[in-house]
Every structure is written in C-alpha cells, then in structure tokens.
Amino acid sequence: MNESKGVLGQWRDSVHVRFSLVNLALALTPPFVSGFVRGKVYRLAGLDVSRTSFIMGNVRLIGGTRHHLRNVHVGSGSIISTNVTINSDAMVSIGDNVTIGPYVMLYTSSHDLGPGSRRCNVAVIARPIVIEEGCWLAVGVTVLPGVTIGHGSVIAAGAVVDKDVPPDSFVQGVPAVVVRKLPLGNR
C-alpha cells in the first residue's frame, strides 16, 4: 500500500494541469502562430520566459517534483525550436541570445548505479544545467546533468554533452569533445 501511495504521490507531483492545457491549446494552433505568442502563453502557465524569446513549437517539460516548472529560465532574445525536451528536476538556465535547435534534450536528473538486483537506483539525483549567453545547440543535441556550456559555444548536431564546455568552443561527438576554439567576434 505504501508503495502505491508513493507512485500516486510521484504522479501527482509530475502532473501539471495548467501546463498540459497550455500545450494542448498550442498544439491546436496553426504553425504560423508567432513564437512570441507561444512565449507569452508559456509565461501565463508560469514559466520564466523572457518577453523577447521566440518559441517555435511546443516544449516538452518533464520532471518528478511538484514545482519543476519553476526551474526553467529562458533569457532574452533566445530561440527554442520544435520538439525540445527539458527535464527540470534541477534548474535549467538558458542565457540571452541562445539558439536551441530541434530535438534537443536537456536532462537534469539521473540515478545512481544500484546493486545487480536493481541497477537503476530509485533515488533521483538532479544537477543544474547552465547554457550561457550566445550559445547554439544544433539539432539533436543531448545535454546531461550538471553541465555548463560556456558563452558563445556551438554544440554540433547529435552531440552528447556530459561535461562542462569552455567559452567560445566548438564541440562535437559522443561524448562531445572540443574540436576548436571559436573567434571572439564583435562583443
């Protein structure tokens, strides 16, 4: 009985009716609806999204805590493409002028390795993700818990980022590695 209470409690904590209704309403809107309108609707649902951010499609927000929606910050001038998944068990901070491509996944939580009888230990370990100003995450990038991507960095398509990325770096691969430093440009 206690176990089912735990499962029901987890379900209750992860279900957000207002956010689900917002996503449903936005899914019914035609594709030409402005990303600024989507941003405004997400703000009404309680997300910390800058007024100058542009959200091209529905964002899939998942988490196992009651207030995980409060753990997302999207800075000004940022663009979030379609089919982006954000696990927000810990803080996800997206800086100003960041571009996030389609099918990007940002995951803040994982599990410890358990014994042979249950390798995925039950306890969730959540660590924040920080994407600093001016970054570009190309299509299909996966960012794992506890990663900071330094300002002005570019993450190549399909990369899996499992450790911090220095500022102004171009990284690619699985796992992602720094391929070269990028010029500073006109800051």
- Any idea which residues carry the catalytic annotation? 111
Residues belonging to the chain: 187
Q: What does the alpha-carbon distance between residue 40 and residue 174 come to, in Å, rounded to a whole number?
A: 35
**Rounded CA gap, 10 and 23, in Å?**
21
- The alpha carbon of 80 is separated from its chain's Cα centroid by a whole number of angstroms, namely 10
CA distance 64 to 172: 30
Alpha carbon 32 to its chain centroid, in Å, reads 23
CA distance 46 to 38: 13
What are the start-end ranges of the E strands in 40-168?
A: 48-49, 54-55, 59-62, 72-74, 79-80, 84-87, 92-94, 99-100, 105-107, 109-113, 120-126, 129-131, 136-137, 142-143, 148-149, 154-155, 160-161
